Amino acid sequence: MNLLVNIDHVATLRNARGEGYPDPIEAAEVCEKAGASGIVFHLRGDRRHIRDEDVYRLKESVRGTLDFEMAASDEMIDICTDIAPHLCTLVPEGREELTTEGGLKMKSVIDDYKNRVFPKLKETNIEISLFLDPNPEDIELAAELGADAIELHTGTFANADPQKRRHELTRLRKGAKLINELGMKVNAGHGLNLDNLPDLLETVPHLHDVSIGHALISKSVYWGLEKTVKAYLEIMEDYA
């Protein structure tokens, strides 16, 4: 099981003053030296945090897994195929959203992905992951498309009130088992933190990559990045 650190919000802080500091690429190096297996970034269409130049520098500097999160636009597909990361995670993207609000709705994208998106990405060796809610129908359509992995959206679990957390964990558990049965890698991410991660790892099987960003970067403001990454790794080692 791998920790991938999402450094989007180092770029958020960098952009606040526009003077190049803190540097997301330096943050990525610190995370990998602390033991993270790789780095995730989301190059959004509005470039609100990660910028194109960050992506090309990350390609040169990241030693572990590089996960390029993106909407399935022609623009992003062109940049992704030029960068050739290990992994491309296709996510829904809304300009007005504060952050990603849910997984892809496979019924509404399946034809476009089958006819445009996957043929372009499949010309490369980039692994294709789809960011999905733990809905069996979406997971089965993703397998039909030939996705290599599914990243389970854990935001509903992370934001659930105590009465609903168990139900959301059960959905994620069933989703992970189906993904594995269909021969795809099980990844997970969104809204995970030091408090809710143990419940997820205790309940959800077959996890390959766990992507954590906002909570980890936020905690590092108090603890420092190295100590924070190691705190997440310590939890994950208990469930390896």
Ligand X SMILES: CC(=O)[C@@H](O)[C@H](O)COP(=O)(O)O
- Which residue numbers are catalytic? 42, 69, 190
CA–CA separation, 40 vs 29, rounded Å?
Answer: 12
Asked if 212 interacts with ligand LD2JLWAY (CB under 6 A), we say yes
* Near ligand LD2JLWAY in 181-200, by CB under 6 A: 189-192
Angle subtended at Cα 138 by Cα 116 and Cα 133, rounded to the nearest 5 degrees: 115
Q: Which is nearer to ligand X, 78 or 97 (CB)?
A: 97
Question: How many CB atoms neighbour CB 161 within 10 A?
Answer: 6
Give the residue from 6, 59, 8, 60 showing the smallest Cα distance to 37.
Answer: 6
Q: Which is nearer to ligand LD2JLWAY, 12 or 180 (CB)?
A: 12
User: Cβ 99 to ligand X, closest distance in Å?
Assistant: 3
140 touches 121 (CB < 8 A)? no
Cβ nearer to ligand LD2JLWAY, comparing 114 with 239: 239
39 touches which of ligand LD2JLWAY, ligand X, none (CB within 5 to 8 A by kind)?
Answer: none
Q: Which residues pair with 90 in a beta bridge?
A: 70, 130
Residues contacting residue 178 through CB under 8 Å, at least 6 positions apart = 136, 139, 140
- Show the site string, 136-155: x = touches ligand LD2JLWAY by CB under 6 A, - = not: ---------------x----
Binding site for 3-amino-2-oxopropyl phosphate: residue ranges? Answer: 6, 17, 191, 213-214
